[in-house]
Structure 1
Amino acid sequence: MYSRSEASRIRAEFWITFGQYMKPVPNAQGRRINWPNYRTGVKHIYFRMKAESNFASIGVEIAHKDEELQELYFMQFKELGNLLKNTLGEEWDWKLHAVNEVGQTVSKIEKVRSGVNVMEESDWSEIISFLKPRIVALDEFWDNVKPGFED
């Protein structure tokens, strides 16, 4: 068992390592980007990557406080579902109005990898190998569809 500060330090170390690994990878427009803190540029839409003690995940999170507007964004993504699936090369889980870890109602499109532990440095390469192609593919997808979400 790790103390809170030790667990926090290990997680921070992982994200620094991930950032260093991704640093030479340009975004879809050929620019340098801070991959661990990806900014979609659209309020209430986030690309979230997590690495925990029993899973890693990546996804799109729609966090608009107005649940009707949140659903509208979600349906926009649904309409682009085939493009998203083709860009990602796999099916992701779609969750309308789920509750996140801080009790907010959000909608998610995500992929989870069970059986990995960010606390074990030996799992880091597996977690990075899970996250890297998916965040790059999400960026490519977003580069194509972002204008439709900007209003």
Structure 2
Amino acid sequence: MYTREQASQLRQAFWTTFGQYMSPVLSAEGLKPNWLNYNTGQKHVYFRMKADKKTASIGIELTHPDVEIQEIFFDQFTTLKAYLHEQVGETWEWEFHIPDENGKIISRIYKEISPVNVFNRDDWPTLISFFKPRIISLDQFWGDAQYSFEELR
């Protein structure tokens, strides 16, 4: 068992390592993105990578506080579902209007793996191998798909 501080340090060490691993990778547009805090340019649309002691996930989170607007965004992503799955090379899970860990209603499209443990350094290669191709694929997808959301700004 780790203290809160140890857990925080290990989590930070993993994300720092992942960030260093991704730093030479350019975006689909040839730019140098912040892979850990990817900027979609669309308010309330986030690419999230999460890892804990049991699972890891990567996905698109729609967090607009107005659930009707959130639904419009989710519907727009639904029209791009086949293209997203083609870009990432696999089928992802789709969840509409679910509570997040803070009870806030979100919608998300994601892929998850388990068992992995971010606190076990032996799992870091598995985590990096999971996150890297998927965040790159999300970037490629978003390079084209973002224009479908222009009217929703």
Normalising TM by the smaller chain, what interval?
Answer: over 0.9
Q: Deviation per CA, 1:89-142: give whole Å up to 9, x if none.
A: 100000000111111100000000110000000100100000000000000000
Shift of 1:34: 1.2
1:44 correspondence with 2:49: no
Mapped partners of 1:121, 1:150: distance in 2: 41
Q: Find runs of 4+ consecutive structure 1 residues off by over 3 angstroms.
A: none
Shift of 1:76: 0.2
1:59 correspondence with 2:59: yes
Q: CA RMSD in A?
A: 0.6
Between the two proteins, the alignment pairs up a number of residues equal to 151
Q: How much identity, in percent, do the aligned residues show?
A: 50
Mapped partners of 2:118, 2:85: distance in 1: 27
Please list, as runs of the form range in 1=range in 2, the aligned pairs for 1:25-104 lying within 5 A after superposition: 25-104=25-104
Mapped partners of 1:127, 1:150: distance in 2: 33
Determine helix, strand or coil for the equivalent of 1:150: helix
Mapped partners of 1:46, 1:150: distance in 2: 16
Listed as ranges, the gaps of 5+ residues in structure 1 are: none
Listed as ranges, the gaps of 5+ residues in structure 2 are: none
Mapped partners of 1:36, 1:125: distance in 2: 17
Superposition TM-score, scaled by structure 2 size:
0.97
Residue aligning to 1:19: 19
Mapped partners of 1:150, 1:26: distance in 2: 24
* Aligned AA (1:78): T
* Aligned AA (1:140): Q
1:131 correspondence with 2:131: yes
Shift of 1:51: 1.0
Mapped partners of 2:108, 2:148: distance in 1: 18
Shift of 1:63: 0.2
Superposition TM-score, scaled by structure 1 size:
0.98
